[in-house]
Amino acid sequence: MEQQWLKNINPKDGYYIAGFADGEGSFNVSLKKRNDYVGKWKITASFNISQKDRVILSWIKKNLGCGTLRERKDGVVYYEVTNVTSLKERVVPFFKKFNFISSKKKQNFSIFKKIVDQMFEKDHLTKDGFEEILKLREILNEGVGRKRKYTLSDVLMVEESSETTRKTDSNQ
């Protein structure tokens, strides 16, 4: 069932935002090494658009009803949504209703939606769920040309060495 806020969006505005995001938006999943996390990694899903025009990003934020705006020193403004509930209940339904045209963005959105669904269900907190999300992350934005700081093998190597350390410690 479609949520009321989504019904209230003027279709012309919705498709404009979808087109804008099709060209300028990005769906990402980032990893940060964290020693205070059980699995040593913090995983964050995000939808963002960067632009020098704060007005358009503010308007998009207002229509989606979530996210934050921040500005870099060079004047580029970021609209970003990282809250999993907001991604699940706002961003995903919006782009399901107001589709993308480009096949690449459709593909990335489909992968991103799976990741958000899994994170919403807290699957990322299990070893298998975490690895599944990492595998999906590997094909998200494939061929965009930027190198990931942590690859799947980097993360799994840290996970395996942590597991080996735990087993060794418990055997003593």
Domains of the chain: residue spans and CATH: 4-171 (3.10.28.10)
Summarize pLDDT for 102-124 with one digit per residue, the tens.
999 999 999 999 999 999 999 98
Beta strand pairing call for 41-51 and 68-71: unpaired
Instruction: Look at residue 10 and give its three-state secondary structure.
Output: coil
| pLDDT at residue 37 greater than cutoff 50 | yes
Q: Give dist(CA 68, CA 91) in Å, integer.
A: 13
| pLDDT at residue 154 greater than cutoff 90 | no
For residue 50, the model assigns a pLDDT of 93
28: tokens are 């990402």
Higher pLDDT, 19 or 33: 19
Instruction: Write the DSSP assignment of 50-108 as a string of letters.
Output: EES-HHHHHHHHHHHT--EEEE-TTS-EEEEE--HHHIIIIIHHHHHHS--SSHHHHHH
Confidence of residue 2 (pLDDT cuts 50, 70, 90): confident
Rounded mean pLDDT, 72-77: 93
Cβ atoms of residues 68 and 154 within 8 Å: no
**Locus of tokens 């704060």:** 54
For residue 74, the model assigns a pLDDT of 94
For residue 149, the model assigns a pLDDT of 59
Q: What predicted TM-score, i.e. pTM, was given to this entire model?
A: 0.83
Q: What is the mean pLDDT of the chain?
A: 85
Q: Which residues contact 141 (CB under 8 A, 6 or more apart)?
A: 26, 27, 28, 108
DSSP 48: E
For residue 168, the model assigns a pLDDT of 39
Beta strand pairing call for 41-51 and 77-81: antiparallel
